[in-house]
Amino acid sequence: METLNNLVDLLSYNLHCLRATEQQVSDAIPLVIEQANHSSLKNALQHHAGLTTAQVERLNKIPTLIKEKIPGFAIPEMSDTGQAYLSQGVAGLIAEMRQLLTLDLAQEIKDAAIIASVQKIEHYEISAYGTAVAYANQLNLPTVAKLLNETLQEEYDADDLLTALATAAINKDGLPPELATDKTTPETDETGAMKDDSDDDQPKISISERTINSPGGRAGTSHRRYGSGESRGH
């Protein structure tokens, strides 16, 4: 059993877990892309899946950077990542997603179900990368924090895009006929952003039906902006 004595060890362990998580998600996402119906959802999932190689390359650089900055610590290379680092949490979320997709889902709600499942995994990754950024900052490893934060922002972008797709178009497809009226359509302001009087201080997603229905949509573009190292991790 691996012994963790300090924050350097804990960061190293978390990095290897992230490396394993990227592989777990990469193996699972083709099934989701295949079953998605909406072209923009397919494109969003394909776009994010295409970022995995760059995200893994960032992780692979980090052990050397830590050793250069904090010599004397035994930091395993990412090539040593194995079964011991597989995330049981992500495995459970993937199993739940696979089980959901075996159900007799009406076409009108399948994409909504896919978005919900994928966002659970995205939120796990956001938490994990955010925590790794916090550890790197605490250890005064700015280059490491910057690399991790690049991936963290990509995870936020993916989450934002899925939310926009769901709220602007896909969830509407699943409304029962008796509820699919103008009365249930969220009120929007002059920019097309959905109004929410109870949350005036929060940023609004401005996205039109035309944008949603065009291939590519907003893939890779977030309305959120965080400074380097800022995250929702602890």
Pick the closest to residue 76 from 20, 130, 148 (CA basis).
20
> What is the C-alpha separation between 63 and 144, in angstroms, rounded?
9
Q: Tokens standing for 159?
A: 């989450």
Q: What is the mean pLDDT of residues 121-130?
A: 96
The whole-model pTM stands at 0.77
The CA-atom distances, in angstroms, between 218 and each of 63, 143, 211 are: 33, 28, 8
Residue 180 pLDDT exceeds 50: yes
Pick the closest to residue 50 from 23, 26, 69, 32 (CA basis).
26
> What is the C-alpha separation between 130 and 125, in angstroms, rounded?
8
Residue 226 pLDDT exceeds 70: no
CB 8 within 8 A of CB 136: no
Rg of the chain in Å (alpha carbons): 20
Q: For residue range 45-69, what is the model confidence (pLDDT) as tens digits? A: 999 999 999 999 999 999 999 999 9
Q: From the CB of residue 111, how many other CB atoms can be counted at a distance below 10 Å?
A: 24
CB 121 within 8 A of CB 25: yes
List CB contacts of 138: < 8 A, sequence separation 6 or more: 7
Give the per-residue pLDDT at 79: 66
CB 218 within 8 A of CB 159: no
> What is the C-alpha separation between 194 and 191, in angstroms, rounded?
9
Give the per-residue pLDDT at 84: 76
Out of 24-38, 104-118, 152-166, 179-193, least confident range: 179-193
Give the per-residue pLDDT at 164: 95
Residue 185 pLDDT exceeds 70: no
| Of residues 20 and 216, more confidently modeled | 20
Domains of the chain plus CATH, in order, are 7-213 (1.20.1260.10)
